[in-house]
Structure 1
Amino acid sequence: MSFLSSQEILSIPDTLGHAHAHWNTGRADQAERLCQHVLAAWPGQADALHLLGLIAHAYGDLDVAIAHLRQACTTPHAPAVYSSNLAEMYRQKGLLAEGEEAARRAVSMDPTLVSGWNNLGIIQQETGKLKESLACLERVVGLQPGWAEAHNNLANTFRRLGRMDRAERHYRQALALNPSYAEAHKNLASLLSSQGRYDEAATAAQRAIELSPRVVDAYPNLTEVETSRHLRAAALGALDMLRAFAPQHPAGLWHA
């Protein structure tokens, strides 16, 4: 079904169900049209606003996404996850205070909401509230120990606290859970490099690049590691790869 016809009248729950089905199968334009149909019949309907926010975010329109989610969260009985998603969008926009407020609201509404604690912990990490971040992210790992991203996020906070042994442990746990997790390979490479463990760092950075060539922070890390190992040709090769994927990256420009 692409849209409602005169012969096909659906209730609002059914229309929203079709909208989510379209969204989940990559037909965002059809999902968007159905959400607009719902809002025409029921202005301010929270579920339609939330889905429109997710669609706008996928299209890269963060301001519109935030506006939709903010309105959705003001409606009575809006689920806690809506506030959690709003928190992450605020974070991406750089509105960390607003993001922290939204994430706190999410976990106060549902103390078992993993995404809420995760988003709150990342925001606190970015604002330097590292002890609070640690408590949130340890809670996330406790609630969902098999989630690789949770271990990676927790490791990032441990690293900022200078607790490198715990950081390494959780990076490696993330990779044990998901060996193809390029971001965790890149983060582990950076940690190992900072400790002078250059051979291990090079392996981790190279693996990150193999898995996801657009993880651009892995390239300058590999360049520094290869320079420290006195492998000039390999260092220059890493820089060439960086310039291919991110021509304006400061590391590539600095070494030009």
Structure 2
Amino acid sequence: MLLATGAVEDARALYDALTREYPTLVQAVYGLGRALSELHQNAAAVEQLARAIELAPEYGSAHYALGLAYRDLGDETAARRHVAESERTAGRQPPVDDPLMRDVHALRTDPRAREMRAFRLQLEGRVLESIEQYEQALANDPDLVQAHLNLINLYTQTGQADQAERHYRRVMSLNPNIADAHYSYAALQFQRGQRAESEAALLQALEINPAHYEARFSLGVLYEAQGRSGEAIRQHELALSHKPNGVGAHVRLGRLLLRQGEVTRGLASIEAGLTPESPETPVFMYELADFHARLGRGDQAEQWLRRAHELALQYDLQDLVAAIERELQSAR
């Protein structure tokens, strides 16, 4: 969320401050590299992402991001090497840093230090502690825009809609032209069941920044839920024009195309969503097996089932493993 275009410069500044404060915090080094990539500063991005991998050699997401950065620099050999590494190390995360050092730095109480502390906790998934630190930072400096943006998301995540809206309103009073703020507000409204308000916020985000992938993708999902398939397809296609490796848009687009009878394009789109690998990948493979089975392509269906089974075992998705094994047994 922090790297969604529209708030990316703020994110870069925050990650940069974090890496200066905590030079071995892998998540921050990785985040800085991602932000630099979004800003098309590819050489600097490669430097930071390579640092992240030095600190955590099995960090799959960092390998993938580095592969994309090398691709943008035109180094296809290095790009392929790191994308391959990302597939091997998919889902692996770096360890949390030294808790003693966290406690020492937590003694600092200036707003910027608290904001960085909050962000660090957010990276580690410690949501309630992160919220507390952001709020304390804002108590001393109510104009920290990125803190407000992060709290919109954290309060939405924890089901505290009124608090999320309060921070959205504050961002609007500081700067109404931040696409990511409208995107986050759309997510809040969607969670509330306010579809029209969610659509309006997404359209506002896209008016500010037409290349906002998350907003395009979410608008496509919203249109799909409303039965507006043609508009949903258009939004997913636009999302992929800005982010060709957007897994969600590839898979959603593929499903829609298959429903309309465009088999070749639909299957190809879902297959494109299999990279980068994640715990969702075997689910998508299972879908592909089902689609092939419906088309009477038994051999291809079995191949996808076996690939999905292998990957589901790797990610310990026991319910999916059991479902696939039942399918394979019934096919005999």
Q: Deviations over 1:88-133 (max 9, x none)?
A: 2233445555444433443344211211111111222233211111
1:230 offset after TM fit, Å? 1.9
Identity rate, percent: 19
CA separation of 1:152 and 1:18: change in aligned 2, threshold 3 A: closer
1:18 offset after TM fit, Å? 5.1
| TM-score, structure 1 normalization | 0.77
Counting matched residue pairs gives 236
The equivalent of 1:129 in structure 2 is 194
User: For the residues of structure 2 that align with 1:48 and 1:178, how far apart are their CA atoms?
Assistant: 33
CA separation of 1:17 and 1:125: change in aligned 2, threshold 3 A: closer
Cα RMSD of the aligned pairs, angstroms, is: 3.1
1:146 offset after TM fit, Å? 2.1
1:242 offset after TM fit, Å? 3.1
| TM-score, structure 2 normalization | 0.61
The equivalent of 1:188 in structure 2 is 253
Quick one: which amino acid aligns to residue 143 of structure 1? I
CA separation of 1:222 and 1:71: change in aligned 2, threshold 3 A: farther
Conservation of the 8 A alpha-carbon contact between 1:189 and 1:221 = no
Conservation of the 8 A alpha-carbon contact between 2:219 and 2:232 = yes
User: For the residues of structure 2 that align with 1:94 and 1:240, how far apart are their CA atoms?
Assistant: 39
User: For the residues of structure 2 that align with 1:17 and 1:197, how far apart are their CA atoms?
Assistant: 46
CA separation of 1:82 and 1:202: change in aligned 2, threshold 3 A: same
The equivalent of 2:296 in structure 1 is 230
User: For the residues of structure 2 that align with 1:114 and 1:64, how far apart are their CA atoms?
Assistant: 27
Conservation of the 8 A alpha-carbon contact between 2:251 and 2:273 = yes
Which structure has more relative contact order (CA 8 Å, sep 6+)? It is 2
1:1-256 equivalences under 5 Å are: 19-21=18-20, 22=23, 23=28, 24=32, 25=48, 29=97, 33=101, 37=105, 40-41=107-108, 43=109, 45-95=110-160, 98-209=163-274, 211-214=275-278, 215-216=280-281, 217-243=283-309, 244-245=311-312, 246-248=315-317, 250-256=319-325
Quick one: which amino acid aligns to residue 168 of structure 1? I
Q: Deviations over 1:52-109 (max 9, x none)?
A: 2221222232332233223333434232331221122233445555444433443344
Quick one: which amino acid aligns to residue 145 of structure 1? P
User: For the residues of structure 2 that align with 1:126 and 1:230, how far apart are their CA atoms?
Assistant: 39
Conservation of the 8 A alpha-carbon contact between 1:158 and 1:166 = yes
User: Residue 302 of structure 2 aligns to a residue in which SS?
Assistant: helix
User: For the residues of structure 2 that align with 1:100 and 1:160, how far apart are their CA atoms?
Assistant: 24
User: For the residues of structure 2 that align with 1:50 and 1:167, how far apart are their CA atoms?
Assistant: 38
